[in-house]
Each structure stands twice: as structure tokens, then as C-alpha cells.
Amino acid sequence: MEAIARALDSDLAYRFRRSPVAMVAALVVVLLIGSSVFAPFITSQNPFDPGSLNLMNGFSKPMEPNQFTGETFVLGTDDQGRDVFATILYGMRISLFVGFSAVIFAMVLGVTLGLISGYVGGRTDTLIMRIADIQLTFPAILVALLIFGVAKGITPPDRRDEVAIWVLIIAIGLSEWVQFARVVRGATLVEKGKEYVQAARLIGRSPVAIMVRHILPNTLSPVLVIATISLALAIIAEATLSFLGVGAPPTQPSLGTLIRIGQEFLFSGEWWILFFPAMTLLALALSVNLLGDWLRDALNPKLR
């Protein structure tokens, strides 16, 4: 594996060095992910710990000392006195956690179904692909809202906040799996006809062994591309749902929740509560997406 990674890497690394867009996008992504992972070391305040908040700090303007406490917050504070910078770092954690988990869920589901669909063929294939078609006719948000509604109905009220995040993950994941399934099915159909697969069938390897050990590794590069682009989509989907109030609860706010909270203050002049989380979301989604686009071109030079 490492030699191939090296070969791939060196080729990719070369293309990477020649693409300024990819380099900037990667830098932004690394900075954002890094700062949210190391949030506790970057800010002293944990905005979700009510004990660490000082209501007196509320509505501090960015870069200006608070009129009561004299403390300065780079990006200002919200009504509760939470440091907006800290809420962004912690909010991004939720956004990224939901995004990554949803993509992994979608990937596992989509890749598995795509492999089976492509390799087994026949009725199984038809069935899986029809389900995928149906899935595609529902917009992602609608699917998420549906699942959300169902989940809300069956979980007791006191546990809703806890399950909210998981519902988000499943809802977003379900709306993304089709892409994975289609691409993997296509790649599987191509690989299945190749002689190395026949050589494995010849010695009696089981279909599962052939799918997992032989075909799967050869479908991974398009999967990687889709995963990256899906991550951007998932982060935005999460923000949208949270903005609509059906996503991450206020006790665990994500970037979307922060934007929803922030827009309440927009017209009263506290623009920063909305502006900075929104900009962060934009930067994160955009750079991940650019990275995905670049990766697609780099792994598939013929497409250009």
C-alpha cells in the first residue's frame, strides 16, 4: 500500500504544487480544522460551560474593550457574553463532527450498496438503483426534515438534544449515499469485466472476497473525490438544518445554529454575531469544495 500511496502522492504532490488554488484551499482547511480541534488550547473560554460566562461581557464589539469589564474580544461577544471567536471554534467542532460522520456513514452505505449492485447485477442491481432514484427525487433537506420529524416523534423530550446530533448525521448521510453508490457501481462494472477478477473467480474466491479485496481498492480514487465534495455539501446541509432550527440544539450550537442566533441581532446593530460565523462557514465549505474539485481533476487528468 505505501508504495502506491507514494507513487500517487508524488504525482498528486506534483500537481498540488502547481495549483495555487489547491494550496490556498488546503491551507484554509487545515487552519480551520486545526483550530477547532485545538480549540481548548486557543481560547480560554468554553462557551458551552455557563460557569465560564460573564453576562456583563454581553454585546462587546469586535476589537473594542467592553464598556463594563474592559475586556477585549477579537470578534466581539453575543448577548450572553460568549466570545464569538470561541463559539466559532467550538461550533465548527460540531459542524465538522456532523459533516465527517455523515460522509462516513454515506460512504459506507453507498460504497457497500454500489459494490453489491455492480457485482451481483440482475434484480439486486435494479432494486438498489431504483431506491437510489427515489432517494434522488427528494431534496436532501426534505429527507432530513422527514427523518427529523420521525425521530422527534419517537424520542422522549428530555433526550431530544442528545439524539439531535445523531439524527442530523443519519439524515444528511442518507441524502448523500446515492452519489457514492452510483460511482462505485459504475467502477465495479468496469473492474468486474477485467481479467484479474476472472483470475480470482477461476480459483474459486468468494464474491465477498473479490468485491472487498480486489474491486474495492480499485474504486477508491473516485470515492475520495466524492467524499471531499460531499463533506462540503454535508457541512452546508447541517448549517441549513440548524439554521432552520431542526439541527444542532442551542446547547451544542454548530455554525448553523450560531448563524440562526446571530441573525436575531442583525437588525439591532450587533452584526458581528452573525457575520463571523457565516464567513467561517463560507470559507470552510468553499475551500473543502475547491479541494474536492482539484482532487477530481488531479486524479482524472482525462476529464480536463
Partner 1 sequence: MSDVLLEVKNLTRTFDVSLPWLNRVIERQDRQFLRAVDNVSFQIRRGETFALVGESGSGKSTIAKMVVGLLPASDGQILFDGQAMDVNSSAAMTQLRSRFQMIFQSPFASLNPRWRVRDVIAEPMKAFGTVDGKAAIDSRVDELLDLVGLGASDAGKFPHEFSGGQRQRIAIARALSSNPEFIVCDEPTSALDVSVQAQILNLMRDLQDELGLTYLFISHDLSVVRHMANRIGVLYLGALVETADGKELFKAPRHPYTRMLLEAVPDLEMTGKEHSVVKGEIPNPIDPPPGCTFHPRCEFVAERCRNDIPVPVPTPTGEAKCFAVEEGRI
Closest CA to 82 of 110, 43, 121: 43
Query: Which is closer to partner 1, CB of 104 or CB of 200?
Result: 200
The only residue of 37, 163, 200, 224 in contact with partner 1, by rule CB under 8 A: 200
Q: Is 204 in the site for partner 1 (CB under 8 A)?
A: yes
Query: Which is closer to partner 1, CB of 49 or CB of 195?
Result: 195
Query: Which is closer to partner 1, CB of 6 or CB of 160?
Result: 6
Query: Which is closer to partner 1, CB of 5 or CB of 134?
Result: 5
- Least spacing, CB of residue 1 vs partner 1, in Å: 8
Query: Which is closer to partner 1, CB of 179 or CB of 219?
Result: 219
User: How many of the chain's residues bind partner 1 (CB under 8 A)?
Assistant: 17
d(CA 76, CA 59): 7
The only residue of 17, 130, 160, 194 in contact with partner 1, by rule CB under 8 A: 194
- Least spacing, CB of residue 148 vs partner 1, in Å: 39
- Least spacing, CB of residue 191 vs partner 1, in Å: 9
Write the DSSP assignment of the chain as a string of letters.
-HHHHHHHHHHHHHHHHT-HHHHHHHHHHHHHHHHHHTHHHH-S--TT-GGG--GGGTTPPTTSB-TTT--B-TT-B-TT--BHHHHHHHHHHHHHHHHHHHHHHHHHHHHHHHHHHHHH-HHHHHHHHHHHHHHHHS-HHHHHHHHHHHHHHHS-GGGHHHHHHHHHHHHHHHHHHHHHHHHHHHHHHHHHTSHHHHHHHHTT--HHHIIIIIIGGGGHHHHHHHHHHHHHHHHHHHHHHHHTTSSS-TTS--HHHHHHHHHHHHTTT-THHHHHHHHHHHHHHHHHHHHHHHHHHHH-GGG-
Stretch that binds partner 1, among 38-46, 69-77, 160-168, 192-200 (CB under 8 A): 192-200
- Least spacing, CB of residue 171 vs partner 1, in Å: 34
* Torsion-angle region of 45 (φ positive above 0: left; ψ -120 to 50: alpha; else: beta): beta
Q: Is 263 in the site for partner 1 (CB under 8 A)?
A: no
What is the contact mask toward partner 1 in residues 205 to 224, using x (rule: CB under 8 A)? Answer: x--------x--xx------
Q: Is 123 in the site for partner 1 (CB under 8 A)?
A: no
Query: Which is closer to partner 1, CB of 27 or CB of 212?
Result: 212
Q: Is 121 in the site for partner 1 (CB under 8 A)?
A: no
Query: Which is closer to partner 1, CB of 198 or CB of 268?
Result: 198
Q: Is 4 in the site for partner 1 (CB under 8 A)?
A: yes
| List of residues contacting partner 1 (CB under 8 A) | 3-4, 7, 194-196, 198-205, 214, 217-218
